[in-house]
Amino acid sequence: MRLGYHSITWGGVVGDATGVTSIKDLYYRANGSMEQAVRDIAAAGYEGTEMFDGNVAAYADRPDDLRELLDSAAVELVSVYTGANFVYADALPDELYRVERAAELAATFGARSLVVGGGARRAAGTPSEDYDRLAAALDRITDIAERQGLSASYHPHLSTIVESPDELERLMSRTRIGFCPDTAHLAAGGGDPAALIRRYPDRIRHVHLKDLRPEPLAFLPLGAGVLDFPDILRALREAGYDSWLIVELDAYEGDPREAAESSRAYLDKLLDA
């Protein structure tokens, strides 16, 4: 398993304001310097990175700049993260347009994986049909990714209709997309990350690692919270997973590079054990 680090920690995640009135232009973005992020990720000893669709889209008209940045740091763009509501029929074509654009850009820069989050939780509650709508959209995204030579996986996320283990099962039984376990989101949703990895071993296509403090809720560098990473890594090995482990820390009060180094040192101890 190779180690990568998500660029989100450099500035945290924001959405483009144009998306308020133009769904097709609503991207995630890390609100910081990707140049600094890639250099720091390399310095912390990681071989790969994951970026948001909006950060990659910023290089669409100057692709050589991103290629040069990655090459000079000896860091691969492993994956691109995107997401949408996926439950509103009128909005879906524009959402899929944006996902297709993200997949095209991911392939342009040599990424292997398209990671997708979403499934809006309506103000009036979640009808069971929303799981059918989300599943059907994710199957279409799987096709989009495969046309670009990418592997697609779904990332359960707090604030969506896939938080808890029961909600995850409602989705997984309806769709063929791969599974991207995010250790902290799974735990915050009431699940045991290692147990959920063992439940869906054949569906795992990508992995996000971050630690968790339950009260008050906070995402932390690896080893700084309560999650059982030795068991999580055992579960991944049992599943035969041998691809990238992406550390994804949403925010950090100090230097993002410091958090990346801390998680790398913790992982090195576990992987050498």
Q: Give 82-114 pLDDT, tens digit per residue.
A: 999 999 999 999 999 999 999 999 999 999 999
CB of 97 closer than 8 Å to CB of 140: no
Q: Which two tokens stand for residue 132?
A: 């059918």
Q: Give 113-152 pLDDT, tens digit per residue.
A: 999 999 999 999 999 999 999 999 999 999 999 999 999 9
Domains of the chain: 3-272 (3.20.20.150)
Strand, helix or coil at 99?
helix
Gyration radius (Cα) of the chain, Å: 17
What is the C-alpha to C-alpha distance for residues 263 and 97, in angstroms, rounded to an integer? Answer: 35
The overall pTM is greater than 0.85: yes
